[in-house]
Structure 1
């Protein structure tokens, strides 16, 4: 039976390249001269340190621009609330989303089943396996999931006949 997997993965090597490019741009930009703005990645968490809220917003824009140039969708970033550091400085944690969490998996499975497409959806850890009798049904399921406008970017991999 034909099947495919719905996953959410981020290429961390490309993510690191984008972060390096952001650091290089910040060190060269005139409006960041003399500031202490840094980015640090630890596993699936990015910490942004900025002098004030304005510089933090500018760093968000620069980061999103470099991620999109590297082919990484900006939906993988889950911004937490900024916290105050010394003086006016702010620190913000950004979680890099990997895998599909339980609630989103259930929502996607429910949506596919309610669409009327003749496929079966199985939740396997942090990914979904969709199987059906016809290739056209699987392609219809992919189009339906793409039309859901989910915040988290998804990939459709491992398509087998």
Structure 2
């Protein structure tokens, strides 16, 4: 019985490259000279540090440009609130989304069950496995999932015939 897995996972190597390229650009740009502007990646969390909210926005913009050029979908980045730290500095923690959360998996499962496509969905950890009788039904399910959930950068892998 043909099947595929619906997953939500970023290529962490490309994310790391994007962060390193952003740090390099921060170091060379004239408007960041002598400021506290910095960026670092630790365990799927990107920490942005700057002197003001405006500077954090600039760093975020650079990061998004570098990520897009590296082939990383910016929808993987889940930006937190900007918070004040010692002195007049601010920081923002941006999480890199990885794995489908339970509520999102249930939403995908309900979407598939509510459609007229002859496939079944089962939640398996941080992925949703979709099985069907033929390949055409699975491809129709893929198209429907992508169309109904445009805010999630889903990918389909482990396609078996």
With structure 2 as the length reference, what TM-score do the two structures score? 0.96
1:36 corresponding residue in structure 2? 36
* Aligned pairs, number: 161
Stretches of structure 1 lacking an aligned partner (at least 5 in a row) = none
1:63 aligns with 2:63: yes
Moved more, 28-37 or 119-128: 28-37
How many angstroms does 1:134 deviate by? Answer: 1.2
How many angstroms does 1:50 deviate by? Answer: 0.8
1:115 aligns with 2:115: yes
SS in 2 for 1:80: strand
1:81 corresponding residue in structure 2? 81
1:98 corresponding residue in structure 2? 98
Q: Give runs of ≥4 in structure 1 deviating > 4 Å.
A: none
1:115 & 1:46 partners in 2: Cα distance? 38
CA deviation profile, 1:103-146 (whole Å, cap 9, x unmatched): 00000110111111000001000001000001110000000000
1:135 corresponding residue in structure 2? 135
1:149 aligns with 2:142: no
SS in 2 for 1:93: strand
After superposition, the CA RMSD in angstroms is 1.0
With structure 1 as the length reference, what TM-score do the two structures score? 0.96
Moved more, 133-142 or 88-97: 88-97
1:88 & 1:146 partners in 2: Cα distance? 43
